[in-house]
């Protein structure tokens, strides 16, 4: 992974976790979110016949299912240029409109940081 020098170590961690989930599971996207207590939730794309979720939607759902009440940050590793409107909505629902979403390429380099709002 190419380091992004200005990236906070905790943000670098969720980008690394997201990248690992994508590679390990061979899925189009990997994502990680950090909740208000610092716990992280990592997920990949879900592509079942009966259920389709992006990696970021899945990570947010895992956080909610584990009792998280807010998010500090989110990261997605994807080939897309930015996070989708649906992904931003999921992050916003739990973390609020100011929650940063780091969008990184497969090499782990953050291409953009957008707010969920």
Sheet holding 100-104: strands in order across? Answer: 40-44, 30-35, 71-77, 100-104, 110-115
| 5 pLDDT above the threshold of 60 | no
What is the torsional sign of CA 95, 96, 102, 103?
Answer: positive
| pLDDT given at position 6 | 80
| pLDDT given at position 2 | 43
Judge if pTM exceeds 0.85: yes
- The Cα–Cα gap between 83 and 73 comes to 13
Identify whether the C-beta of residue 13 lies closer than 8 Å to the C-beta of residue 42: no
């Amino acid at each position: 992974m190419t380091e992004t020098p200005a990236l906070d170590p905790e943000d670098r961690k969720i980008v690394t976790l997201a990248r690992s989930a994508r590679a390990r599971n061979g899925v189009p996207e990997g994502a990680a979110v950090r909740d208000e207590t610092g716990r992280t939730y990592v997920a990949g794309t879900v592509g079942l016949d009966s259920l389709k979720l992006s990696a970021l939607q899945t990570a947010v759902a895992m956080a909610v299912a584990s009792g998280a009440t807010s998010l500090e940050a989110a990261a997605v590793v994807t080939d897309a240029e930015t996070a989708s409107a649906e992904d931003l909505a999921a992050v916003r629902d739990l973390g609020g409109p100011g929650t940063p979403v780091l969008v990184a390429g497969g090499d782990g380099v953050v291409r953009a940081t957008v707010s969920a709002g």
